[in-house]
Structure 1
Amino acid sequence: MYATYVIWTRHMRKFVQQTEELVGLALQSVLWVVLFGVGMRGMISDVGGSDYMSFILPGIIALSALGGAVGGGMVLLDERLRGIVKEYLAAPIPRLSILLGSAASTATKALFQATLMLIIGLLMGARLAINPVGWLGALVLLAIFAIGFSGLALGVAAISRSIAGYHGMIFLFNLPLLFASNALYPLSVLPGWMQAIVLINPATYLIDAVRALAFGVEATLPLWASGLVLAVFAAASMIFALSLFQRSLRA
């Protein structure tokens, strides 16, 4: 576990020192919340008894967590291409700790970006429900979601041979997952065929649960089902990442 902590510390120190990455995350948050959220709120006053900013913010938070996970996968890919992973392998540490350290730092970045997005959203008029237990539950589910997409990002990074190839593959986990979810519109207004697609998307369950727990919007899906789907998704994603990471070491 100490090796995992050391790798996590290394990645987070690099993240803090690279001001362009921090500024990029901040600008992305501002653009999504201010330009998209505020603009749409001018057209739609409320959804399901909630103002549109409070309705849309959980979806933007999910997208930001996904973006943070994608950025974390880039770190592993960069270390592979530069030969740093081989230096890790030469050290007397468990190989699994390399992946766990990368997963921990990736999930941390995802949570950082999601927190930043939440703060900006609240400044723009979103309203949290007065429910500290709900806030904690939403944070736990967000962490599980971040770990899940961290696993996907790391798995893709483990087999990608170039940065361009990584971005080409990871694009499938970015904007398409946002629009194929309940982030921008209620699940009830979608046609049946689209609802079937949306319900396959793990982001749908996070967004619905966060709306209910943190923003007081009535849940469309059972909270226990959302928690179960996210837990299974996170476990499957980490197994996926571990499998591809071990395969890359044998290559």
Structure 2
Amino acid sequence: MRIEKLWLTVGKGGRPGRNITPKGLVIHWTANRSYGANARRNRDYFENHPEKKVAAHYTVDDSEVVQCVPENEMAYHVGGQKYTEKALRILGSYPNSTTIGIEMCVNRDGDFAKTYKQTVQLAAEVLKRHNLGTGDLWRHYDVTGKDCPRYFVDDNTAREFGFTDAASGWRGFIADVKAELARLTDSGSLTAKDIKGHWAEQDIKQALEEGIVSVDESGLFYPDRPATRAEVVAMLMRLDDRILGKIKQ
């Protein structure tokens, strides 16, 4: 999955710059159905309105996934005056310090089915990276009681977005993430089956995790096979995206 890393300014607004150890992944909706309210626009809202002190690690629309905050840093995405008993028991007294947040865009000029699909894929990858499972998926609603994402909380809104009802919509989302997580595990798309013991094993693992290189459908990397010109260009462009992201940080 290609991810655009457009970091928010450290110490400003919703990115305080504090390290976290993720225990859960929280799904949100932007609640902004305006035309053009896509992933980048929502990221820019976080950046340009620091007084709101809100952010998420990712914003997702039908064509792009934008990362706003590194996964090992806190983002102010699930704050509240009070938290549910379950959230306090599992996530601790301040869930922002133990969770990663994904905002799903609902702009009218977007294709929600594609946004949903991208979110499923992203959620599975995030869970896999942190050795979490679908039992660690949360709606914002589950943490604070807020009606977010509303289509997974309110039946009328759920039907607007093509779900039978809110509860079955959320169950379906969890099932889809579980299936994608199983596919990632089976295919080894975030790992490679043929690099164990190779002198560059750790570097290859890191490059896979960062999305700079990838494995084939069989989970093989072929570490000693020459790269084609096209593969070299693709790797350089992905690396360029990463470098630019750090510069903007």
Does TM, scored on the shorter chain, surpass 0.5?
Answer: no
Ranked by relative contact order (alpha carbons within 8 Å, sequence separation 6 or more), the top structure is 1
Q: TM-score, normalised by structure 1?
A: 0.33
Q: Normalization by structure 2: what TM-score?
A: 0.34
Decide which structure has greater helix share. Answer: 1
More strand by share: 2
